[in-house]
Amino acid sequence: MADADLDITGLKEAAALIGQDLTVPLGAALFAIALEAQGRIAPYPAASHKPQAFKTAKQRRGFFAKLRSGQISVPYRRSGQLGSKWIADGGGAQIRLRNTAGYAGLVHSEKGQASYHRGTWKTDEKIADEVVGDGTAANLIEQALQKAFDGGD
């Protein structure tokens, strides 16, 4: 799994337990779960305004050199694009929710999140735990199975 990705799997195992090929309804349920997770992870939190101390003298010198040259400006302005870079793709037995922004792992990855973002931005694992823990995933799977067994009613 790459930084800030959620993999949703288990279709083959579920079909084996039920004894029927439920690829289509369960695939739809997995996609709905991915979309639910996307809706929870994509929104920007309020800006934290936490101070960010320089870790080294070299970092401080680099910051002020870039500020003087106009490469960066203060205050920092968010691009607002990180949330729109989430993509749910795949099909059947595996759906992947991933972020195509190169820096997404520093913001959303449980393992790679920068310390500055901790406590402000939700992580991939936190969202996965929420979607499963609050029963949303189970409800979406139940709805898909109910629809399949009821003949689509």
Round to whole Å and give the CA distance between 37 and 130: 9
Round to whole Å and give the CA distance between 88 and 67: 37
Answer yes or no: is 58 within a domain: no
Answer yes or no: is 88 within a domain: yes
pLDDT by residue (tens digit) across 105-150?
A: 999 999 999 988 999 999 999 999 999 999 999 999 889 888 887 8
Residue type at 72 in one-letter notation: I
Q: Which domain holds residue 13?
A: 6-47+81-149
Answer yes or no: is 64 within a domain: no
Distance of CA 81 to the CA centre of its chain: 14
**pLDDT surpassing 60 at residue 24:** yes
Residue range 87-99: average pLDDT? 84
Answer yes or no: is 143 within a domain: yes
Instruction: Tell me how many domains the chain contains.
Output: 1
Map tokens 């070299």 to a residue.
58
pLDDT by residue (tens digit) across 35-73?
A: 999 999 999 998 888 888 888 999 999 999 999 999 998
pLDDT by residue (tens digit) across 11-21?
A: 677 677 777 77
Q: What integer pLDDT is reported at residue 152 of this predicted model? A: 56
Answer yes or no: is 70 within a domain: no
Answer yes or no: is 134 within a domain: yes
Answer yes or no: is 11 within a domain: yes
Answer yes or no: is 61 within a domain: no
Give phi and psi for 123, each to the nearest 5: -100, 165
